[in-house]
Amino acid sequence: MRDNYPTRLDHPSDPITRIEPTVWGQDDDGPLNAAELTKMESDGFLLKPQTLGQNWLKPLADELDRIGADAPEGDPRIIREPNEGTVRSVFQPEQFSDLIAEVITLDNVLPVARQILGSDVYLHQTRINFMKGFEGTGFYWHSDFETWHAEDGMPAMRAVSCSIALTDNYPYNGSLMVMPGSHQTFYPCVGATPDDHHTSSLVKQEIGVPDRETLTKAAHEFGIAQATGPAGTALWFDSNMMHGSGSNITPFPRSNIFLVFNSVENELGPPFAAAKPRPEHLAARSARPFAESDLLST
The CA distance from 217 to 186, in Å, is 14
CA-wise closest residue to 94 among 146, 38, 162: 162
- According to DSSP, residue 45 is labeled E
Cβ burial, residue 203 (10 Å; 0-12/13-18/19+): exposed
The CA distance from 64 to 79, in Å, is 11
State which of positions 64-83 bind its own copies (CB under 8 A).
none
Nearer to its own copies, 79 or 224 (CB): 224
User: What's at 10, amino acid-wise?
Assistant: D
Is 15 among the residues that bind its own copies (CB under 8 A)? Answer: no
Q: What are phi and psi of 211, to 5 degrees?
A: -75, 170
Nearer to its own copies, 101 or 177 (CB): 177
Q: Which of 27, 66, 170, 191 binds its own copies (CB under 8 A)?
A: 170
Question: Residue 95: which region, alpha, beta or left (left: phi > 0; alpha: psi -120 to 50)?
Answer: alpha
Q: Which of 49, 65, 172, 206 binds its own copies (CB under 8 A)?
A: 172
Which span (38-46, 78-86, 119-127, 134-142) binds its own copies, by CB under 8 A? 134-142
Is 141 among the residues that bind its own copies (CB under 8 A)? Answer: yes
Q: Which of 16, 156, 219, 264 binds its own copies (CB under 8 A)?
A: 219
Is 291 among the residues that bind its own copies (CB under 8 A)? Answer: no
C-alpha triplet 124, 105, 259: angle, nearest 5°: 30
Which span (38-46, 80-88, 248-256, 287-295) binds its own copies, by CB under 8 A? 248-256
Which span (109-117, 130-138, 191-199, 266-274) binds its own copies, by CB under 8 A? 130-138
- According to DSSP, residue 294 is labeled G
**Contact positions vs its own copies (CB under 8 A):** 133-134, 138, 140-141, 170-172, 174, 177, 212, 215-216, 219-220, 224, 226, 244-252
